Structure 1
Amino acid sequence: MHRIFLFITCFFVAFFTLNNSSVLAQEIVTVRGTVFDGQTMGRLAGANVILEEIERGTTSAEDGQFVFTNVPEGEFTISASFIGYRVSKQTVITRQVKEINLTILLMPTILKGQSIEVTATRATEGESPVTFSNISRDDIEKKYTASDIPMMLDELPGVYAYSLTGDNLGYSFLKVRGFDQSRVGVMINSIPLNDPEDQQVYWVDHPDLAESIQDIQVQRGVGSSIYGTSTFGGSVNINTKNYSSDRYARVYFGGGSFNTQKMLAEFKSGLIENTYGFYGRISRITSDGFRKHSSSDLLSYFLGMERYDRNMVTRLNIFNGHERTHPDWDGVPADILETDRRYKKETYENAVDDFSQPQIHLINDWQINSLFNLTNTFYLVHGQGYYENLKMNNKLADFGMLPFETRDPNLFGADSLDYYETEGDTALYRSADGDYILKRSDLTRQKWVSKNQYGWIGKLTINLPDAVLDLGGSFYHFKSDHHGKVLWAGFLPAVYSPERKYYEYDGQKNNISLYANYLYDIYPKTKLMANMLYEHKTYAFKQHETALFRGAYLNQYEVTYDFYSPRMGVNYKFSDAFNAYGNISYAQREPSDNELFDTWTGPDDLGASPLFAKSDTVRSGGTVQFVRWEDPQVQPESVVDYELGLTYRSPSVVLQVNYYYMDFMNEIVPLGGVNKDGQPIKGNADRTVHSGVEMSATYTPFSFLRLNGNLSWSRNYYKKFTQNNYDPESGGDDLSGNSISGFPDMIGNFRITGLWQDLTGSLFFKYVGKQYLDNTQDETRIIDPFTRVDLMLDYRVKEVGFFPEIRLTFKITNLLDEAYETAGYYDSWAGSAYLYPAANRNYYAGLSLSL
């Protein structure tokens, strides 16, 4: 027994001795290294370095060096991160070595906080031969309050923004070089935000999105193919926040004129274990609006997650906005504007627009090796909502109902003569049975739409000697379902049940695009850019049998477009301070869905036909099933765009000037007036020209003072255009040489900013020149030039009690209380101008508490 015990004791002693000797052998490995800026090769102090498998971390010293001692044998992932740089991950094998010395290069993002997956879609000064402007996160924080994004872009060269309500909330619109936002490509992390059907951007569906934005780049002129689609006025590329850059939580409270209120809660995790980053925001903005009965109730959230792997970054974004607004599509008649600038035609209490649009974005960026980088983006967009109106004295047939007989001739009191079938102008018609025929009624209706879009965007970047080649493509499928229903109508028989549909149609659009973008260093100071974009688009429209829509009243069509859009440019860098560029582009764009239908009416109107040259009546068993249409009369528009630019940059001065000349064929232009849904009426013009000069300057004479401003002058005119009028025998009106309506001839911005300790104050001046309301160039049909002055104060205090930072903002818009109008149209039937007034002097204050 004693021998057995002695044997067991010796066995365990030998086992633990051998095991400990193995452990000791593993503990002698040292891993050390230095962290550098991958562009400047400067050493980075304070970088986070982690051996992930054994969960050991350290930070780099002042000289960028770090060290891990007593590292066991094995294979480990070492990751390094630093704010404003991409995470670096690499494999370290510690077998049969005593020491490993590493060099870690952290590559900075192009703009502070920018995530890896969006760098390729950004133009870079001194390299990209395009005209562009950037808005940083710091700019956003100092200028943004609660307004929609177009108002934040309003200070850039050639950019103009306005809202229907006059207070910069609700339905807001953006123009770049005078082109409306349906011809401006807007993207979030390179994912398109324009509606595929009408090509509009509904900013109101994304309230308070600016709080989740890191930076914005606005490119003016024909968009590069790296933006995935062809654009005319420009491209707006929005990057959301980098969730891993720093850690914070905050709440925000704001309020101001027109009973405007804003509440927000937000957090960002920073980088967790050099692998994960999380972000979340929820906001609510409410306002009564400047114009009467124009309130807004806007709710939004944004959730995001990032994961950094060895050679890969994956991001998931889920966000949504829900808007319930009381917009007024009709402008204020000019004669009423003189006495009531807050006038609104519709006073029905529940005249609302109610819509939500949740989106899911999944973005993966894979650095395959030093030569190849692959980015894949998948997205899903779902939108649903309606708007409701009270319609007075409308034909029953327009809402899917037939006139009906009644014994009562006074259903609408003293106004009954307007609602019944009449004999002449003074007597009600009465049938042989003694019945009266009611053909009109007062009613409330809702117009509903449901939209679903899913898509993919892919890009392979190949880093060649002295060149970078991007090969990419995209695909999306879009389907919309539209229907209208009558909620209530006066004195209807029981056969017409509540919420009865009176029209229904759907639209389907498919888009496939392929592109190549080549940036080549011809000489040390000269870069050549060449790209080609191919787009294949199909759009199918179909009305469904509903109420009175049947047989010959049902329309169908399908259109197909194939576009090739080449572009070439050169950038020459004279020195680090001075560079010049030029480019020439050709682009095409298809008509939107409402531009393919009848000028004054739409697919919800019984008897309205699409604007097509050919039709085929489809029958079955002798009965008309529907009408198929071919050969659209509204043609795709095309443009050749010439751009030249110069840039000078020094520590205290930045100067930029550029010239553009855009030669259009078949441009789809505003003809003056709006349709029944408030959309501008448009048509093709044979030849048009848009040309102009844009200049900007920034001067920083002292660290506490900065002056910056820009001036844009443009000439927008018809080179050849005959506009049809109401007399078919006249041959139309020759408008060649006239200015195109809706384009300001001059836009100027100037801001003076002062800094004193923790207080930043700025005074902003904006000038917008004359805009014609229609194409006649009648000087009585214009929007007058105006100048607006704004005051902005921003005060930040660090480490106040429990709060790491407290920030106070205060803004006065229209400081001088000027009365001016921002947009409008001319109604030739009524013989009157209709204008959208801006708000008088108004105030806003906000309090941000960091936790």
Structure 2
Amino acid sequence: MKQSLLLLWLLVSTTVLYAQKTISGAVTDKTKGQPLTGVSIIIQGNNNNGVLTDAHGRYQLKVPSKGSYRLQASYLGYRTYITTLQGSDAVSELNIPLEETGLFVQPVEISSLRAGKNAPFTTSSLNAEDIKKQNLGQDLPLLLNQLPGVVTNSDAGNGIGYTGLRVRGSDITRINVTVNGIPINDAESSGTFFVDMPDFASSVNSIQLQRGVGTSTNGAGAFGASLNLSTNEFRDKAYGEINNSYGSFNSWKHTVKAGSGLINDHFTIDARLSKISSDGYIDRASSDLHSFYTSAAYISKKTAIRLNVFSGKEKTYQAWNGVPEALLHTDRTYNSAGTEKPGAPYDNETDNYQQDHYQLFLNQEINSRLNFNVALHYTKGKGYYEQYKAQQLFADYGLSSPVINGLPVDTTDLIRQLWLDNDFYGTVFSVNGTGQKLNWSLGGGWNRYEGGHYGKIIWAQYDIDKDHKYYDLDAVKTDFNIYWKGEFKLTEAVRLFADLQYRTVRFNIDGFEDNPTLIQHNTYNFFNPKAGIYYYLNTSSQLYASYSIGNKEPNRDDFEAGLTQTPKHENLQNVEAGYVFRNNRVNVQANAYYMYYKNQLVQTGKLNDVGAYTRTNIPKSYRVGIELQGSVKLNEVFTFGANAAFSQNKIKNYTAFVDNYDSGVQDTVHYGNSNISFSPSVVAGYTLTARPVKGLDIDVIGKYVSRQYLDNTGSKERSLNGYYTNDVRLRYSIPQPLFKELGLQVAVNNIFNRKYEPNGASYTWIEGGKLVSDNYYYPMAGTNYMVGLTVAF
């Protein structure tokens, strides 16, 4: 903390203040004369010094009092307004009429799912500029690290490769993720693997994170949050951009983007090509990632048709096992993957996967108050992870033991590949109506997943048929949902919100690798209602409150518990209440939440029918907390933003199952109100931004996460220490006449070289009458850096 304060003081003491004056006015529709709310007003070249128009279309902005500057007003569906003003002019009032483009560019497939400005839910958003200023190659979850209640981790230790995300203690399998309204979560595990979408952040123009159940969305139910990513940005001017960055651990990022702008008043084409590579902080935790994104659109006055095709291909050396506790302080980059091979570790203990996405959208305006959209989507995923396994029983692979020199040989070293070959396809839709009193959406989707699981042996110490397939299992999952959500304007100050969703899921699993005869066919029918109120105290202050119910089916691995232990679905009741204050200088939000779970699935240590650990339904558990976030413009140079989340996360009457090696059975240990694993009671962060000269931004960033428990017993011996880290980011737009932008970015992460671990695992048993724990950790890198150069034209 002392170092952080010193750094802040140095920034303050070396800053030069520049004279400013205020300009204000109203922004209206040029034809209709109506005020426009939410118009972005900026000084070109300084996007961070911008404002949005209020409910009456008015704005107030600090501008230079000397020299010339260009003021820009932009709003979706309207032509961008740009004017050059002189600081010495006496202009203090500037009214801006915006002209409609005459094109249907509103992404209604997004607005039907996202929480609107009057929706009574807890949200945080990032725009394209927020994303760009930190996008130097780290995976997308790391870009969300400064949002309230968010904790991120990385298997490789530097944010490239496999990364994890938790919101309010809920992991990625409980976070609903959509891209342009299309579900992205894996249908079987409910997880989202951002490593399969390398550098996708470079194609995203806005992100909304809803914490809690949130509004109805497509795909698996949201049990911790909903993450909505939008790429369907309309750009009417041609552009090109090259981004290159290099940093610690031989990390590289190369990105090329280009767009045609509007062709013949109707067509646009956008494309991106990316490559990311890194050796990783952890030993051998290398990544080799490739991706592309293309989008072509036809846009007219009432119709928009868009085709998105994007793909990601990854090869990462496995770093899934963690560092044993005994080595954490002496060899914290240790990686056990590949070490079953005698001698040097196996050089291809890798994960290999390619995922191709196809999205086709039709947006149609019926009249000024009614529009609809329908989308078709298809995702093809195929890949495997490869392992060297020592002393494997032939019988475990459906093989007879060979006889060598007259004696049977029961085991062999081998190299195996575990394959996943899946197809995910379907449709989503919404009809959207607007009126003076009621805005509403009727939408939903039908999706089908077909997954093939098989394993094969590609090499063995003893003679085995090459590519011997030792299991081949299928799974099919269909998911249909329909929802109606509406916002009713009761008075000028009060908005009522209702959201009703019906969802049905059929999940057929025809066997598992370790239990091929276990057949699980289950159908679930869920009703997920939400209701809330949004109250305008005045133009700057609002209150909101909501009550929501969510339901979620078990994941694939949960069903391996056996027919006698088939898991129940989970149920969540969520109460959210908050206060929002916004003006041109201050932005504050405070909210409280209560999340009550029935039959939440958690690890208890219980063994399933094949002797593997399985998640078990626990009757009652809850999360309750307060979240604070805000920002303030301290003066013309400094802006300070901070957030903090305080919570209790408890299981009522928890029972743990512990292997007893002395007796050969499992013991049970009963607890009262125990802590839910990986749910810190405090998560906080801050960002101090300094703009000492034109074109230069300096961010000082801090993050604090309190103790996390590796299991649900609340044992300090099986926990992750709390940590506090600091980063510094610098962005400089270099003045020059050749390019639209020549930007330099520098990010120094963990500047005080803290040793910390945001993720881990624990295995506990009884031996010799004593409780023994085996803990594993996923360390993050010490001080590391990335340097990037952007050329835009």
Bin of the TM-score, shorter chain as denominator length:
0.7 to 0.9
User: For the structure 1 residues 359 and 43, does the alpha-carbon distance in structure 2 shift closer, same or farther, using more than 3 Å as the test?
Assistant: closer
Query: Are positions 1:736 and 2:736 aligned together?
Result: no
Q: CA deviation at 1:117?
A: 3.7
From 529, 550, 565, the counterpart of 1:566: 529
Counterparts of 1:696 and 1:553 in 2: how far apart (Å)?
50
User: For the structure 1 residues 846 and 372, does the alpha-carbon distance in structure 2 shift closer, same or farther, using more than 3 Å as the test?
Assistant: same
Q: Deviations over 1:5-36 (max 9, x none)?
A: xxxxxxxxxxxxxxxxxxxxxxxxxxxx9556
Q: CA deviation at 1:652?
A: 0.9
Query: Are positions 1:500 and 2:451 aligned together?
Result: no
From 413, 429, 434, the counterpart of 1:463: 434
Query: Are positions 1:687 and 2:620 aligned together?
Result: yes
Q: CA deviation at 1:109?
A: 12
SS in 2 for 1:448: strand
Query: Are positions 1:843 and 2:785 aligned together?
Result: yes
- The aligned residue for residue 789 of structure 1 is 726
- The aligned residue for residue 305 of structure 2 is 314
- The aligned residue for residue 107 of structure 2 is 115
- What aligned pairs does 1:432-451 form with structure 2 within 5 A after superposition? 435-451=406-422
CA contact 1:128–1:571 (8 Å) conserved in 2: yes
CA contact 1:358–1:381 (8 Å) conserved in 2: yes
Q: CA deviation at 1:673?
A: 11
- What aligned pairs does 1:418-429 form with structure 2 within 5 A after superposition? none
From 729, 737, 745, the counterpart of 2:681: 745
- The aligned residue for residue 385 of structure 2 is 387
User: For the structure 1 residues 593 and 43, does the alpha-carbon distance in structure 2 shift closer, same or farther, using more than 3 Å as the test?
Assistant: closer
User: For the structure 1 residues 322 and 114, does the alpha-carbon distance in structure 2 shift closer, same or farther, using more than 3 Å as the test?
Assistant: farther
Counterparts of 1:681 and 1:268 in 2: how far apart (Å)?
49
User: For the structure 1 residues 109 and 225, does the alpha-carbon distance in structure 2 shift closer, same or farther, using more than 3 Å as the test?
Assistant: farther
Amino acid at match of 1:849: V
Q: CA deviation at 1:291?
A: 0.5
- The aligned residue for residue 748 of structure 2 is 812
Runs of 4+ in 1 over 4 A off after TM superposition: 33-39, 41-45, 107-110, 226-229, 672-675, 727-731
Query: Are positions 1:530 and 2:498 aligned together?
Result: yes
- The aligned residue for residue 595 of structure 1 is 558
User: For the structure 1 residues 636 and 390, does the alpha-carbon distance in structure 2 shift closer, same or farther, using more than 3 Å as the test?
Assistant: same
Amino acid at match of 2:523: T
Q: CA deviation at 1:44?
A: 13
Counterparts of 1:581 and 1:263 in 2: how far apart (Å)?
43
- The aligned residue for residue 776 of structure 2 is 834
Instruction: Choose 241-250 or 380-389, whichever is displaced more.
Output: 241-250
SS in 1 for 2:752: coil
Query: Are positions 1:758 and 2:695 aligned together?
Result: yes
Counterparts of 2:260 and 2:34 in 1: how far apart (Å)?
25
Instruction: Choose 303-312 or 237-246, whichever is displaced more.
Output: 237-246
Counterparts of 1:37 and 1:639 in 2: how far apart (Å)?
46
User: For the structure 1 residues 633 and 543, does the alpha-carbon distance in structure 2 shift closer, same or farther, using more than 3 Å as the test?
Assistant: closer
Q: Deviations over 1:121-154 (max 9, x none)?
A: 23233x1100000101111111221001100011
Q: CA deviation at 1:405?
A: 1.9
Counterparts of 1:42 and 1:334 in 2: how far apart (Å)?
52
From 63, 76, 81, the counterpart of 1:85: 76
Q: Deviations over 1:596-630 (max 9, x none)?
A: 114xxxxxxxxxxxx212xxxxxxxxxxxxxxxxx
From 638, 641, 645, the counterpart of 1:708: 641
Counterparts of 1:534 and 1:557 in 2: how far apart (Å)?
23
CA contact 1:384–1:449 (8 Å) conserved in 2: yes
Q: Deviations over 1:745-795 (max 9, x none)?
A: 211101100112111110100001100111222111110000111010011
SS in 2 for 1:837: coil
Q: CA deviation at 1:635?
A: 0.8
SS in 2 for 1:720: coil
Counterparts of 2:764 and 2:142 in 1: how far apart (Å)?
31
From 129, 143, 153, the counterpart of 2:120: 129
- The aligned residue for residue 168 of structure 2 is 177
CA contact 2:604–2:657 (8 Å) conserved in 1: no
- What aligned pairs does 1:619-634 form with structure 2 within 5 A after superposition? 633-634=566-567
CA contact 2:218–2:481 (8 Å) conserved in 1: no
Counterparts of 2:726 and 2:640 in 1: how far apart (Å)?
15
Counterparts of 2:500 and 2:233 in 1: how far apart (Å)?
31
User: For the structure 1 residues 808 and 730, does the alpha-carbon distance in structure 2 shift closer, same or farther, using more than 3 Å as the test?
Assistant: closer
SS in 2 for 1:843: strand
Amino acid at match of 2:723: F
SS in 1 for 2:698: strand
From 158, 162, 166, the counterpart of 2:149: 158
User: For the structure 1 residues 571 and 485, does the alpha-carbon distance in structure 2 shift closer, same or farther, using more than 3 Å as the test?
Assistant: same
Query: Are positions 1:557 and 2:520 aligned together?
Result: yes
Q: CA deviation at 1:840?
A: 1.1
SS in 2 for 1:85: coil
From 336, 360, 366, the counterpart of 1:345: 336
Q: CA deviation at 1:248?
A: 1.1
Q: Unaligned 5+ residue runs, structure 1? A: 1-32, 46-81, 89-102, 408-434, 599-610, 614-631
- What aligned pairs does 1:248-263 form with structure 2 within 5 A after superposition? 248-263=239-254
Q: CA deviation at 1:107?
A: 8.7
SS in 2 for 1:821: coil
From 533, 557, 563, the counterpart of 1:612: 563
CA contact 2:285–2:317 (8 Å) conserved in 1: yes
Q: CA deviation at 1:326?
A: 0.6
Counterparts of 1:174 and 1:108 in 2: how far apart (Å)?
41
Counterparts of 1:729 and 1:177 in 2: how far apart (Å)?
35
From 573, 591, 595, the counterpart of 1:662: 595
CA contact 1:37–1:43 (8 Å) conserved in 2: no
Amino acid at match of 1:106: E
User: For the structure 1 residues 342 and 380, does the alpha-carbon distance in structure 2 shift closer, same or farther, using more than 3 Å as the test?
Assistant: same
User: Relative contact order (C-alpha < 8 Å, sep 6+): which is higher?
Assistant: 2
TM-score by length of 2: 0.84
Q: Deviations over 1:197-240 (max 9, x none)?
A: 11000100000001111010100000311456531101010111
Counterparts of 1:200 and 1:574 in 2: how far apart (Å)?
40
- What aligned pairs does 1:772-787 form with structure 2 within 5 A after superposition? 772-787=709-724
Counterparts of 1:221 and 1:389 in 2: how far apart (Å)?
38
Counterparts of 2:429 and 2:553 in 1: how far apart (Å)?
23
Counterparts of 1:198 and 1:190 in 2: how far apart (Å)?
20
- The aligned residue for residue 369 of structure 1 is 367
Amino acid at match of 1:119: S
CA contact 2:108–2:372 (8 Å) conserved in 1: no
Amino acid at match of 1:638: N
- The aligned residue for residue 761 of structure 2 is 825
User: For the structure 1 residues 309 and 107, does the alpha-carbon distance in structure 2 shift closer, same or farther, using more than 3 Å as the test?
Assistant: closer
Q: CA deviation at 1:338?
A: 1.2
Counterparts of 1:592 and 1:731 in 2: how far apart (Å)?
26
- The aligned residue for residue 396 of structure 1 is 394
Q: CA deviation at 1:683?
A: 1.9
User: For the structure 1 residues 256 and 538, does the alpha-carbon distance in structure 2 shift closer, same or farther, using more than 3 Å as the test?
Assistant: same
**What fraction of aligned residue pairs are identical, expressed as a percent?**
29
Counterparts of 1:114 and 1:522 in 2: how far apart (Å)?
26
User: For the structure 1 residues 333 and 397, does the alpha-carbon distance in structure 2 shift closer, same or farther, using more than 3 Å as the test?
Assistant: same
Q: Unaligned 5+ residue runs, structure 2? A: 1-28, 42-72, 80-96, 338-344, 766-771
Amino acid at match of 1:843: Y
- What aligned pairs does 1:477-488 form with structure 2 within 5 A after superposition? 477-488=448-459
Q: Deviations over 1:627-686 (max 9, x none)?
A: xxxxx52110101111110111121111111011111110012336999xxx99522111
Q: CA deviation at 1:822?
A: 1.2
Instruction: Choose 827-836 or 576-585, whichever is displaced more.
Output: 827-836
Matched pairs, number: 697
Counterparts of 1:40 and 1:663 in 2: how far apart (Å)?
40
Query: Are positions 1:355 and 2:353 aligned together?
Result: yes
- Which structure has the larger Rg? 1
Q: CA deviation at 1:83?
A: 5.3
- The aligned residue for residue 6 of structure 2 is none
User: For the structure 1 residues 850 and 686, does the alpha-carbon distance in structure 2 shift closer, same or farther, using more than 3 Å as the test?
Assistant: same
From 426, 444, 452, the counterpart of 2:423: 452
